[in-house]
Structure 1
Amino acid sequence: MQRRSFRWIAAAFGAVAATIITAAPASTAPETAPGVTIDEVTAPNGSFIEKMVVTDARHLRLYVHSAAMNQTFPVDIQRPADTSTPKPALYLLNGAGGGMDRASWQLRTDALSFLSDKDINVVQIIGGAWTFYTDWVHPDPVLGVNKWQTYIAEELPPLIDAALGTNGVNAIAGLSMSGIPVLNLAIANPGLFRSAAVYSGLTQVSDPAGQQAVKLTVELYGGGDVENMWGPVGGPQWVANDPLVNAEKLRGTHLFVSTGTGIPGIHDEPGGPFRMEKPADTPKTVALGALIEGAIFVSSRNLQSRLDQLGIPATFVYRDTGTHSWGYWQDDLKTSWPVLAEGLFSQA
């Protein structure tokens, strides 16, 4: 039953996401922002900020050249209202579309409005569709060169810190496909992200059910070859990238994990503000989201049991209702804020 559920995670998730990809509008805003500098800002491996496009006093887009991937990616920034002193940064990851479609924090939720008075820099990663934001062992003919863990953990932070004048304190949060990378980034880089929040995200991949979910997501919907990501299915790289297996290394991170049960709820009504499909298609989309969420519920329970065995504190929220949908992730982000803030503003 569990294996079947995870198959449905990937299939349903990809089917929903694949229908909503659109191009982002171009910006004609000015090129300067108070307190932000990109001149001569480089990461240790040679990555750098190519240019900056400013929307207004608090919002800008950086174009970051990744040396690891030899490609340039946009990063959307929301500055704190007060930039007179260095402030922390919250990194936000999107789901399967990588924020390159309409399914993004910025377009689907009020996350930026909610975070606007939180005295933080908000760093939205754009790119990485279907890649699980990980370092692939081989280039892929369809999905290209992917070194996303290197990009997020090693290339971006020094560039963001230097350009924005942050205080070097970070948290990270993500939904759906981003569950695995959010946890793995915290595991692989102790102290880099003091808080980590996962909303309706996968949390295990070295078991047969998790492997099938990842394989279907990357191959069936992304068009890539999963062996180019972590090698042969079930091999050592799959174990190395399983948060459940490596949960001991989450000790010391402020953790938040949430999911619904898969039972349709307040954000699943046709024509609702968070529905992206036509009202006539809502029953089908909700059914797919229910299957995804129900299986992720099981995965989250497994992670909670493992953390309990290890004596690692974490906040788990299981909503009574809710499918795999943006309305619930907006709610969950707000619920998770005390945990995120604890890492961002505590002295430890």
Structure 2
Amino acid sequence: MGRTVEIQVLLPAHRDSPRPTVYMLDGRSASSDANNWTVRAGALRFFADKNVTVVFTLGGPASYYTDWRHSDPKLGTNRWETFLTRELPPLIDARFGGDGMNGLEGVSMGAEAAMMLAARNPGLYRAVAAHSGCYSMSSDFGQAQARAVVGTFGGDPDNMFGPSDDPQWADHDVLAHAEALRGKAIYLSSGSGLPGEHDTPDNPDLRNAVLFGGPIEAGADMCTRQLADRLAQLGIPATVNRRPTGTHSWPYWADELPRSWPTMAAGLGIG
């Protein structure tokens, strides 16, 4: 990407043998200072006793962690797929004792990115968990939501995959390429969009969670059902948790971190 890209690496307490690596992808507002999995989901505490190296991405807001066709005046040069799949894993394995087994976990924008990266690089990942994402990048709804995400940060979506009829949109469509996910441990989750246990009067972000996070999560739930149905049609096993309530907000994703771990750990061969 023509610049120094910082990441955060969490190492296990015992480092006397090689171990898998899990890459944690942030949502659309990804900050260059901290990954929301650490700030808002308790990931440091959760992974403290796990025999795994955890890599937290920094930066890349509204990038979908993919390779953009063109540099963007607002969002800069995004070549995240190249960085995450070709440049970074060999460095992590060599520096921090990786055993070559990798997993991906993402939320919202990062959920779609995790599935895209896993489908487009099937030999690299053994496990993938995605929470509250959309996975049909070339459908009318899928492209509209992706364009909206990029637009909220002032970016031009055409700089990502080109105009609406560009083949790159279909090339990054997980539903269209779901067969590539065969053989991986897969965990999917979403809420219905209805207020749930975290949407209470003492939540300082209640208004945004309900008014904005409710409809967004309802859309993500539809997307999650579509991918779950497609995987079932193909006979590809997946653990799916579609909750009857829950908005598009971090308290629910924090809950999903421990729920998704058994699937991730099994795929990575962690006892």
TM-score relative to the length of structure 2: 0.96
Tell me if 1:316 matches 2:240. Answer: yes
Task: Measure how far apart 1:256 and its partner are.
Answer: 0.5
Q: Which residue number in structure 1 is paired with residue 196 of structure 2?
A: 265
Residues 102 and 108 of structure 1 are in contact (CA less than 8 Å); yes or no, is this contact kept in structure 2?
no
Which amino acid letter does the alignment assign opposite residue 65 of structure 2?
A: Y
DSSP-derived class of the 1:225 partner: coil
Residues 205 and 238 of structure 1 are in contact (CA less than 8 Å); yes or no, is this contact kept in structure 2?
yes
Q: Percent of aligned positions with the same letter in both sequences? A: 44
Task: Measure how far apart 1:101 and its partner are.
Answer: 6.2
Aligned partners of 2:42, 2:225: CA distance in 1, in Å? Answer: 28
User: Residues 284 and 77 (structure 1 numbering): CA distance in 2 closer, same or farther, change over 3 Å?
Assistant: closer
Q: Which residue number in structure 2 is paired with residue 216 of structure 1?
A: 148
Q: Which residue number in structure 1 is paired with residue 210 of structure 2?
A: 286
Task: Measure how far apart 1:234 and its partner are.
Answer: 3.1
Task: Measure how far apart 1:271 and its partner are.
Answer: 2.9
Task: Measure how far apart 1:285 and its partner are.
Answer: 3.4
Aligned partners of 1:109, 1:296: CA distance in 2, in Å? Answer: 19
Q: Which residue number in structure 2 is paired with residue 189 of structure 1?
A: 121
Q: Which residue number in structure 2 is paired with residue 172 of structure 1?
A: 104
After the TM superposition, which parts of structure 1 deviate over 6 Å for at least 4 consecutive aligned residues?
Answer: none
Residues 87 and 166 of structure 1 are in contact (CA less than 8 Å); yes or no, is this contact kept in structure 2?
yes
Task: Measure how far apart 1:123 and its partner are.
Answer: 0.6
Which amino acid letter does the alignment assign opposite residue 216 of structure 2?
A: I
Which amino acid letter does the alignment assign opposite residue 15 of structure 2?
A: T
Which amino acid letter does the alignment assign opposite residue 271 of structure 1?
A: D
Q: Which residue number in structure 1 is paired with residue 224 of structure 2?
A: 300
Aligned partners of 1:187, 1:324: CA distance in 2, in Å? Answer: 24
Output aligned runs, 1:233-244, within 5 Å.
233-244=164-175
Superposed CA offset, 1:14-65 (max 9, x none):
xxxxxxxxxxxxxxxxxxxxxxxxxxxxxxxxxxxxxxxxxxxxxxxxxxxx
Aligned partners of 1:131, 1:206: CA distance in 2, in Å? Answer: 16
Aligned partners of 1:336, 1:284: CA distance in 2, in Å? Answer: 26
Which amino acid letter does the alignment assign opposite residue 261 of structure 1?
A: S
Residues 99 and 125 of structure 1 are in contact (CA less than 8 Å); yes or no, is this contact kept in structure 2?
no
Aligned partners of 1:313, 1:210: CA distance in 2, in Å? Answer: 23
User: Residues 168 and 203 (structure 1 numbering): CA distance in 2 closer, same or farther, change over 3 Å?
Assistant: same
Residues 135 and 148 of structure 1 are in contact (CA less than 8 Å); yes or no, is this contact kept in structure 2?
yes
Aligned partners of 1:177, 1:309: CA distance in 2, in Å? Answer: 25
Tell me if 1:120 matches 2:44. Answer: no
TM-score relative to the length of structure 1: 0.75
Output aligned runs, 1:131-142, within 5 Å.
131-142=63-74
Q: Which residue number in structure 2 is paired with residue 74 of structure 1?
A: 6
Aligned partners of 1:180, 1:97: CA distance in 2, in Å? Answer: 14
1:130 aligns with one of 57, 62, 73: 62
Gaps of 5+ in 2: none
DSSP-derived class of the 1:169 partner: strand
Aligned partners of 1:302, 1:198: CA distance in 2, in Å? Answer: 14
Residues 209 and 249 of structure 2 are in contact (CA less than 8 Å); yes or no, is this contact kept in structure 1?
no
User: Residues 249 and 74 (structure 1 numbering): CA distance in 2 closer, same or farther, change over 3 Å?
Assistant: same
Aligned partners of 1:177, 1:216: CA distance in 2, in Å? Answer: 11
Tell me if 1:105 matches 2:33. Answer: no
Aligned partners of 1:302, 1:109: CA distance in 2, in Å? Answer: 26
Tell me if 1:341 matches 2:265. Answer: yes
Residues 169 and 193 of structure 1 are in contact (CA less than 8 Å); yes or no, is this contact kept in structure 2?
yes
Task: Measure how far apart 1:110 and its partner are.
Answer: 1.4
Tell me if 1:247 matches 2:195. Answer: no
Residues 180 and 242 of structure 1 are in contact (CA less than 8 Å); yes or no, is this contact kept in structure 2?
no
Which amino acid letter does the alignment assign opposite residue 267 of structure 1?
A: H
